[in-house]
Amino acid sequence: MSKMNRRTMLKTMAMSAAAVGGGLALNMTAPGTAEAEIKKLPAKWDETWDVIVVGSGFAGLAAAAEAAGAGAKVVILEKMPVYGGNSIINGGEYNSWDDELHLRQKLGLGDDSAEVHRKDTIKGGDFYGSPELVKILTDNATPALNWMIDDGGLKLREVVNRTGGHSNYRTHTCVEGVGRGYTEALRKIAEKRGAKLVLNTSITWIWRQNAEADSPVLGVEVKRGKKVLNLRATRALVLASGGFSRDVAMRQIYNPSLTADYNSTNHPGATGETVRYAQAVGAEAIHMAFIQLYPYAEPETGLLDAPAVYPFRGPGFGIVYVNKQGKRFVNEMERRDVVSRAEMATGMKPTFSIFNEKMILRMGTKEEVEAGLARGRFVKADSIAELATKLGVPPENLEETVKKHNQYMKDGHDPEFNRSFTKVMFPLEEGPFYGIAQWPAIHHTMGGVRINKEAQVLDIWSKPIPRFYAAGEITGGIHGTNRLGGNATPDATVFGRIAGTNAAKEKPLA
């Protein structure tokens, strides 16, 4: 169909719809009946806001904070009965080459820069990530972290980790040890600036006027209790509703191997329907097959609790990964996808992380470890042989593995897996010793709607859809095939701020 014929057809359809009351909304889906394919714009709006933000995690709260700070009337819509999504339960990690406390320098952990962080991130995603968007992430990670400290009261532990896939020590941890430290800081900023948070509100449609290239997004249809309401956004809509790790059918469309047999670290609401609504009004989705496993989840449930973050934080301080035979199976400094594949290749569930008392304050707190011991998540012993017995691995094998690794660390060379060593790593020589079981669980979806540097949602022609923004895990194209651990929080926060700032700049629709 020619461009002119298409335009003529759309105008004719719009005029016909207007004659029966209300315009014709763009609807690219085909649910199965001719009647269902026609979706009329609301004759009236139940609520009107300047900026509507969908999702209350890092990205949504950051967007709401900046939009409200610019004077916009903002609502944050959250479908769950509690705020925060995956953000509030994540591991509490934030990658930034620096912070206003200059913790890395203070702790003597070597040099770093936003440029090195950028290179690590691009390489970590097998060069599929957008260099432009990754540069924005790494350049703005430190200002966003300082913003949460100064305006939101965020507090950091005096430790900076070097985690898998990173060449330097840059992974910061909030004092809470979980993502709640950042979400509370962001919520404080957003609510202080006047943004309103509404729970138990599910998005059921995105309203866009028509299929013209300059046709704006107008608002959303939502379900709140038994009511179906239409909310108008006079300036812009921001999607920050997260990924789709919990939707087995959706993830198997793109990666058939990720069956229901896999656990997930995500909260129950991570089901991805908002991506579909965005596609239905013209958005392009990319990198949908790139789905990450978290290699350190609780083996039976997939839970990402406080103990499950210790194996992630430990590589920069000497933690060792072993299989059920008590032998190493991977370079502990590798990124998450490599470790996950290596675990599964052992054919022996679970694997274990081994560390000692000296490492605890570099990875967490003694209180966290004591609580983990009480729940049976950590195992403690005075000797490596005793630890092996408690874990159910051959004592002689684990003793030999630890002995060889200690020597590799002294020599500064690992002939088995080519692990790199630093001066702040601890050999496993002095007890008490600890172990924790681990196994991969589905964790993060790197694909989603495509955005540009202004956080505008793009259509299949790479054109921005007017008044439509997105940030966080609902977006694709930033991380590539694999997201380096600790990059999710700065990604969501940085692009959430950009989306909120630009959304508030839109001239209000009449």
The set of catalytic residues is 336
Sign of the Cα torsion 303, 450, 213, 32 reads negative
Query: Is 412 exposed, middle or buried, given 0-12, 13-18 or 19+ CB atoms closer than 10 A?
Result: exposed
Inter-residue contact 126 to 481 (CB < 8 Å)? yes
DSSP-derived secondary structure letter, 22: S
Alpha-helical segments (H) within 436-487: none
DSSP 8-state symbol, 482: -
Q: What is the DSSP string of 93-127?
A: EEE-S--TT-HHHHTT-----HHHHHHHHHHHTTT
The answer to whether the Cα torsion of 313, 319, 323, 329 is positive or negative is positive
* Residue whose entry in the numeric block shows the structure tokens 């002294």: 410
Is there a contact between 180 and 84 (Cβ–Cβ < 8 Å)?
yes
Instruction: Read off the amino acid at residue 393.
Output: V
- Which residue, 270, 75, 85, 299, is CA-closest to 179? 85
**Which tokens sit at 288?**
């949908």
Parallel/antiparallel/unpaired status of strands 433-445 and 227-239 = unpaired
